[in-house]
Structure 1
Amino acid sequence: MSERGPDTCHCGLPAPYDECCGRYHRGDAKAPTAERLMRSRYSAFCVGDEAYLLRTWHPSTRPPHVDFDEALRWERLEVLRTAGGSYLDTDGTVHFRAHYVLRNRPRHLEENSRFILQDGAWLYVGPVGSLPGIG
């Protein structure tokens, strides 16, 4: 069962989706930090926003499309650690654990993701280092 309340965005921050990640998905604002971009991308997976995911993926690693598994339900996000990625940085990493349920089995995805600032927008590059993948 998801721990998200009615006034909590999918990303886990204490704000409604429309005021939190929804504004990034709509294009009303850009994520100001690598962590906020990571959180908004997690929310985009929750709501199935392929356009946002592709728009915020660095061109060097961007896939042609995003496959959403209908049997998968995202439950909650834990941001474990960040390095760089602030207002004054041009790159950063976010180590996170995303919990989900697949075919009634709880699982998680853990990744240390790299982000870079390009033309005033944070972009997801991909995983760095080696972490346990899907558990």
Structure 2
Amino acid sequence: MRSRYTAFVQLDEEYLRYSWHPDNQPKIIHLNTETKWLGLKIMNTLAGKIDDKTGEVEFVARSKINGKASRLHENSQFTRFENRWVYTSGKYSDK
């Protein structure tokens, strides 16, 4: 999860594709050059250990978009694919 956050900060589309499951990867990844990422806080994790096949990460990412404060609270699903963790889906939270 932290590596994907870093990829968004660095506008690294290649890494985002590498870390996204190919079955549900979007054709276009929208990276906003006007977004200034301010921080990532991992709220909770479920599974995702070395012997697990799936895992979940709840996080809050703070940013400013065109100078306006923004907050993304998501529960992300990950799975093991070709011996690495890849993002499969996420659900936004209003908490």
Q: What is the TM-score with the length of structure 1 in the denominator?
A: 0.66
Q: How many residue pairs align between the two structures?
A: 95
Give the aligned partner of residue 71 of structure 1. Answer: 34
Q: How far apart, CA to CA, are the structure 2 residues paired with 1:75 and 1:126?
A: 23
Deviation at 1:84, TM superposition (A): 0.3
SS at 1:60's partner residue?
helix
Partner amino acid, structure 2, of 1:88: D
Q: How far apart, CA to CA, are the structure 2 residues paired with 1:52 and 1:132?
A: 28
Deviation at 1:45, TM superposition (A): 0.3
Q: How far apart, CA to CA, are the structure 2 residues paired with 1:58 and 1:119?
A: 10
Partner amino acid, structure 2, of 1:131: S
Q: Does the CA contact (< 8 Å) of 1:73 and 1:101 recur in 2?
A: yes
Gaps of 5+ in 2: none
What value does the CA root-mean-square deviation take over the aligned residues? Answer: 1.4
Q: Which one has a bigger Cα radius of gyration?
A: 1
Give the aligned partner of residue 86 of structure 1. Answer: 49
More strand by share: 2
Q: Does the CA contact (< 8 Å) of 1:54 and 1:65 recur in 2?
A: no
Task: For 1:22-37, list aligned pairs within 5 A.
Answer: none
Give the aligned partner of residue 77 of structure 2. Answer: 114
Give the aligned partner of residue 94 of structure 2. Answer: 132
Question: Is the aligned partner of 1:105 residue 2:68?
Answer: yes
Q: Percent identity?
A: 33
Segments ≥4 residues shifted beyond 3 Å = none
Give the aligned partner of residue 6 of structure 1. Answer: none
Gaps of 5+ in 1: 1-37
User: Which of 11, 18, 21 is matched with 1:55 structurally?
Assistant: 18
